[in-house]
Structure 1
Amino acid sequence: MEQEVFAFLNRHQLIPKHTTVLVGVSGGPDSIALLHFLKNLQFNWDLTIIAVTVDHQLRNAASAEDCRFVEEICQSWGIPCVARKVNVRQYQKEKGVSEEVAARELRYSVYKEIMREKNAHILALGHHADDQIETMVMRLARIATSNALKGIPVRRKFAGGEIIRPLLGVTKNNILDYLGKYRLHYRTDKTNEDDTYTRNYYRMNVVPLLKKKNPNLQETIQTLSETLSQDEQYMQAETKERLEKVVEFRENKQEICFAADAFLELPQALQRRGFHLILNYLYGTLPKDLSYIHEVNFFDLLRRRNGSSSLDFPSRLRITNEYGQIHLQFGHQVSAKPAHSSLLTVPGEVLLSDGTRIESTMVKEAPAENEATFVFPLDSVSLPLHIRARKAGDRMSVRGLNGSKKLKDIFIDAKIPKNLRDNWPIIADDKGVILWVVGLKKSETVQNGKGMNIKLKLHRDDN
């Protein structure tokens, strides 16, 4: 393993001599092997090595024992060790995230804190080639952009320095052979055998099948990851340069303006990256409920040529198209009328002038409906959805009724005052098919029990 790791370090120039290196150590085989390797490198390269271990308090006494094990190893090797505890369960409740996400975010917050305390330039982590395979395969199954597919980076900026991963060029078996060669002890985490965790499922059930077809899969995947990363760096730089000629970035980072035609003249690959650069610029940290559907709706909005229309993104970011001029701004003011010309993203929400809001989500099962909710199959409509006011001659197909009915008659039957009818929110699909006169009538849709459903919900102050 030593030769492969040395070659990897030199090829990527990961560790300069005379520097301070933090090492994330869990007590497992990967991190113990990495710590031992760097310890052996310490004298010749004049490195200051500091171990950091984090007790996630998820496995009762076992978690604390892992930390004590790391501290004892470090003491015997003459390496300083910093140990910290984090409360994953509490963080989960506060943030509404999974156990895996909560543990990772808290662990990295500890790393950031210690890097600054110790004035360290590098944080070394023990991810290896098999971790890279798992990550790439997992992302291939659920990610729609090439940028996200590039996998675990060999290095990335972090806390004023860098995170590096020296073991990405070697496999788990290489690491176990190294541990056996030097008779190194390590801890095992029983949760790694629980395939209810997403990564464990891929490691135990998917990756072995791929390795049967390609015994050198780790080399293929790492080469692919590095190639995609290099390509993406170039594309990002090109996008930024071209975007600055088209888009007006305001210093307050609260709004952006540009002409739709100028943006759409960019190559499509740069348009997609430009969209994400704009969101990163405005948000800083992207909301977790952003999805590829928001991207689809964004480009649909850019291509509209008639009048004005808008759509709402998470965290009260509104995007408007006023006769080809695009404006993105936070904290938009609610207009005097409902957002009748607005696009309703899925997922997403639109705020109406009376303080109510309409929320859209994707659901697998079709839940029970009531007056304030409407559920229908995704494949039964043409996206994006629109919230608008009524138009002369509007008709809709009503549940339980053969044929269609005039919206005028629906309002009369419901005894809606005339002064409210013109501002009543109506939801239609992109082909103009009226789906819901909100709170009054729903269109006839077929629940086929297959695929995803769209759920619309009207939120009032009292619910």
Structure 2
Amino acid sequence: MKEKVRAYVQEYHMLEKGDKVVVGVSGGADSICLLFMLMELKEEYALEITVVHVNHCLRGTEALEDERYVEEVCRKNGICCMIYRKDIECIAKKRKQSTEEAGREVRRECFMDAAGKVGGAKIALAHHMEDNAETMILHLARGTGLRGLGGMYPVREIWIRPLLCVSRKEIERYLKEQGILYCTDVTNFEDIYTRNRVRHNVLPFLASEVNTQAVLHMNQTMEQIRLVSDYMEDQTVSVYKEHVDEDQGRILLLSSLWGNVPKILRTMVIHRALARCAKKEKDIGQVHVSGVENLFFLQTGRKISLPYGMQARRIYEGVVVERYTQDLEEMAEKGPYRAAFRIFERKEDMEPPQKKYTKWFDYDIIKGNVEIRTRRPGDYLIIDKKGRRQKLKSYFINEKIPSQERGKILLAANGNCILWVVGYRTSSTYQIGRHTKTVLEIQIDGGEEDGRDSQSIDTGRRGK
């Protein structure tokens, strides 16, 4: 196994002489194996190894035992060890994430912090072949592009994964042969996380009922997909330079993009433009790319709203993408609340959240723009399925809302039609139904309990 990992490291140029390497070590089999593999290569590459252990504070004394074990391994082998203790449950609540997602993010933050302290370090992670197969399955099931189907890369910027070429069985066999002990996290055997369910049910089924080499074949396919993805990325950059103009955050997709550019490249160019404008890729999906594509067939002046306070607008030369408000997170820092928009495809088992300040609307039937604002003359609500209207002023009177407070209440509005009186009620028109395919989610955070506030923020519009 040592020679297999060494060859893999050389193939992807993971290490160079004198490298500083931060190693994420939980104390489990995978990360302990990675640490000992790197110690095997330490002399050959003159490595300076630093171990980082993140205690998630979720398993009480068991977590402390893991922490002490990692410290002891490092002490015996003369390795610098940095311990981070993070209350993941508390962090997950604050960030409104699952503990799994919060844990993953916090670990990366700790690794980055350690790499910065060490100075110019690479970060080594212990993912193996089964991990990558699970990633491929999850990406495929949730919806992804070429890059997602390629799974985790052996090398990505400062991140390296020397064990992606080996299986979990090979790791366990190596540790047994070398007489190396490791910790066992009992939560890894529970099906409380989606990845665990894939690991315990999907992969064994594929191996026993489809092909015993399923994991190997999936990894071989991912390797090919990564090559194709990298090639397509290079082509995308080339087409982008030819058909896109950038000027101080304003990105113009020229109409020439609809010339001889293949559809796959066109969609990748649009996605790249949105990501560059937003300065992030998360939550930018195919539904947003398709929305921008559709603008090319509409008259000048038509526009749609996009994540992260972006707007795409049809002009004579093509489609311009820009931020038409400050970033929502920046706004949140200046005011007592923030608003967030999210557009996504609805799955059969998805139900609207029963939350006072998070509401879903049928994106497919919304015409024009939606914005967050306070009241204006002519505002009205649709109060029943028959389409009967009620003036917003009458609604406020019926609800006995004091007149001095009415101008402070936030509204989600489509023109003068009110989708949502924040903290009170939603319109009957735009509710989620059995035919709803696409959902617009609006979330308001930080407002007072009745949805009122002393400021109004235009968080953005979306249009069709």
TM > 0.5 between the two? yes
Cα distance change, pair 225–427 in 1 and its aligned pair in 2 (3 A): farther
Paired residue for 1:228, among 225, 230, 235? 225
Q: In structure 2, what is the equivalent of residue 365 of structure 1?
A: 351
Distance between the aligned counterparts of 2:220 and 2:113, measured in 1?
A: 33
Distance apart, 1:321 and its partner CA: 0.8
Contact preservation (8 Å) 1:22, 1:120 = no
Q: In structure 2, what is the equivalent of residue 387 of structure 1?
A: 368
Q: In structure 1, what is the equivalent of residue 238 of structure 2?
A: 241
Contact preservation (8 Å) 1:374, 1:442 = no
Distance between the aligned counterparts of 1:11 and 1:359, measured in 2?
A: 44
Distance between the aligned counterparts of 2:83 and 2:139, measured in 1?
A: 32
Paired residue for 1:282, among 253, 259, 277? 277
Which whole-Å deviations, capped at 9, do the CAs of 1:274-320 have from their partners, x for residues lacking one? 1121122112223x54333222222122222x342111112221111
Q: Find the residue that maps to 2:302 and give its secondary structure.
A: strand
Cα distance change, pair 384–226 in 1 and its aligned pair in 2 (3 A): farther
Sequence identity (%): 26
TM-score scaled by length of structure 2 = 0.74
Distance between the aligned counterparts of 1:15 and 1:457, measured in 2?
A: 46
Distance between the aligned counterparts of 1:424 and 1:127, measured in 2?
A: 51
Distance between the aligned counterparts of 2:161 and 2:441, measured in 1?
A: 45
Cα distance change, pair 368–315 in 1 and its aligned pair in 2 (3 A): closer
Cα distance change, pair 57–133 in 1 and its aligned pair in 2 (3 A): same
Structure ID, larger Rg: 1
Q: In structure 2, what is the equivalent of residue 346 of structure 1?
A: none
> Which letter maps to 1:153?
Y
> Which letter maps to 1:73?
V
Contact preservation (8 Å) 2:274, 2:321 = no
> Which letter maps to 2:227?
Q
Cα distance change, pair 110–266 in 1 and its aligned pair in 2 (3 A): same
> Which letter maps to 2:154?
V
Cα distance change, pair 298–168 in 1 and its aligned pair in 2 (3 A): same
> Which letter maps to 1:291?
G
Cα distance change, pair 146–89 in 1 and its aligned pair in 2 (3 A): same
| Structure 2, unaligned runs of 5 or more | 327-338, 371-381, 396-413, 420-424, 445-449, 454-464
Cα distance change, pair 75–410 in 1 and its aligned pair in 2 (3 A): closer
Contact preservation (8 Å) 2:418, 2:427 = no
Q: Find the residue that maps to 1:318 and give its secondary structure.
A: strand
Cα distance change, pair 260–70 in 1 and its aligned pair in 2 (3 A): same
Distance apart, 1:323 and its partner CA: 4.3
Distance apart, 1:259 and its partner CA: 2.6
Distance between the aligned counterparts of 2:231 and 2:443, measured in 1?
A: 45
Q: In structure 2, what is the equivalent of residue 260 of structure 1?
A: 255
Write the mapping of 1:196-345 to structure 2, written as runs, cut at 5 A. Answer: 196-212=192-208, 213-250=210-247, 252=248, 254-263=249-258, 265-286=260-281, 288-304=282-298, 306-323=299-316, 325-332=318-325
Which whole-Å deviations, capped at 9, do the CAs of 1:390-446 have from their partners, x for residues lacking one? xxxxxxx99766xxx9xxx9799x999xxxxxx954699xxxxxxxxx988749x99
Distance apart, 1:6 and its partner CA: 2.2
Contact preservation (8 Å) 1:247, 1:257 = yes
> Which letter maps to 1:54?
V
Distance apart, 1:208 and its partner CA: 0.8
> Which letter maps to 1:107?
R
> Which letter maps to 2:173?
D
> Which letter maps to 1:386?
K
| Structure 1, unaligned runs of 5 or more | 334-356, 390-396, 417-422, 429-437
Distance between the aligned counterparts of 2:383 and 2:84, measured in 1?
A: 61
Contact preservation (8 Å) 1:388, 1:427 = no
Contact preservation (8 Å) 1:124, 1:163 = yes
TM-score scaled by length of structure 1 = 0.75
Distance between the aligned counterparts of 2:7 and 2:29, measured in 1?
A: 21
